[in-house]
Amino acid sequence: MATGRKGPNPWGEEPPLGSKSEQNIRDKASGTASRENKEREPRANVPLNRRRFFYGGAAVLSGLASLFGAYWLNKQKGPTAPPVITDLPDLPDRRLDLTRMRSNISILAQKDWEGRLAGSPGQTKAGEYMARLWSSWGLKPKGDGETFFQSFPVPSFSLSPVNGRMHLVAGENKGNLADNLIGMIPGRDPALRHEVVALSAHYDHLGKWDNQVYPGANDNASGVAVLLEIAKAAIQSPTRRSLAFFLFSGEEGGLIGSKYYVEHPSIPLESLIGLVNLDTVANGDKSDFIYWSSGNLPWREVMEEAARATNIRLQPQDRGMHNSDHFPFAEKGVPAISVLSGTWLEGNHTPGDTLSIINTEKLQKIAEWSWRFVYTLAESAGK
């Protein structure tokens, strides 16, 4: 049994992986694919090479996608205000796989991906890995050129201490690109599918500096792992409303990816009835969570009921000088929150943010809360 910084690691060094097709994708990402698996690995149904487009062309395509997306989502009149929930559905029996979530954290935080700095080869590999998972599950791509990727410019970065924590400091723009990933599961109800419930997480981190990798296991491979698990569950149980999944890059450099998205949306912002952003969710006490919000939350009771049902404490907190990817959406009028561990700052932005600080019970609880809340909001009737 492996021993972490805070004691024994109940997962061990090499956890079992998921299904065979997923295992091939995971093996390739972690560098352990056998020759046989590499030869048999199915090609993605969605083109993954988003570098085929000049950046200007990609921006045009993004604008066209937004236009036609607006037409598709608003064939019926879109909501002028978030719906009032009038009933609560039964939750489908979907097993949220803790082993698979742990495996995804391990892959994202691997040293070979060098901390997933926005615009780096490691961030690119992480994005391509997750796009292959989404493609194999059947999510609808909503990025540039019928891919999952939305490319945007990022500056060069340096790493400096700010108020006692390491932070990225933006420098010159040298033509680097990073990628958001955008996937969708269309709703099954023609009367409600133009309304969209969104789940998001950032997958970038601080990178590698002075020969030290900042793995970002909790920040934010944990949030990404939960999002991936919810997407896999949701594709098997389509909801009445549509579901959108956003994986943002550039968060650590100043919410660059989410700020870019709200100015170039491929899913119209007016169709979003709510966004839940998961950020740094799996360290500390298993039941202790906080959330940041800006503006009115018309679905607060649904959120709180999901917390009671999963036996977690979810408390509002002033974000102070901190921020996350819910904020650009809230500024545009979308009801949005970021959910974090109550002790998210412990070990944050250090090379010690590894698997050893992940609380497995907490990871399971926040996944169960996310599934219950997102499913209820997307499935419930409204008026």
Contacts of range 19-24, beta carbons closer than 8 Å, 24 or more positions apart? 21/136, 22/100, 22/133, 22/136
Peptide bond into 220 cis (omega under 30): yes
34 three-state secondary structure? coil
pLDDT value, residue 62: 38
Rounded CA-CA distance 355/215 in Å is 9
Residue 89 has a pLDDT of 66
Decide: helix, strand or coil at residue 287: coil
Structure-derived torsion over alpha carbons of residues 27, 33, 38, 41, reported in degrees to the nearest 10:
-20
Distance, in Å, from the CA atom of 334 to the CA atom of 295, rounded to the nearest integer, reads: 9
Pairing relationship of beta strands 336-341 and 272-278 according to DSSP bridges: parallel
Contact (CB, 8 A) for 111 and 355: no
pLDDT at residue 19 in the model: 60
**Predicted pLDDT at 322:** 82
Q: Which domains does the chain have, with CATH numbers?
A: 3-379 (3.40.630.10)
Residue 201: its pLDDT value, please? 98
pTM of the complete model beyond 0.85: no
pLDDT below 70 — which residues of the chain? 1-20, 32-90, 93-94, 381-383
In tens, the pLDDT along 169-179 reads 999 888 899 99
* Residue 180: partners with Cβ closer than 8 Å, 6 or more residues away: 143, 149, 150, 152, 246, 247, 248, 249, 257, 258, 260, 261
User: Could you tell me the two tokens for 38?
Assistant: 């590499």
Q: Give the DSSP letter of residue 217.
A: I
Q: Residue 78: CB partners within 8 Å, gap ≥ 6?
A: 194, 195, 268, 270, 271
pLDDT tens digits along 181-240? 999 999 999 999 999 999 999 999 999 999 999 999 999 999 999 999 999 999 999 999
Residue 300 sits at φ, ψ, to 5 deg, of: -60, -40
* Pairwise CA distance, residues 177 & 179, whole Å: 7
Q: Cα separations (Å) of 46 from 42, 141, 258?
A: 12, 8, 23
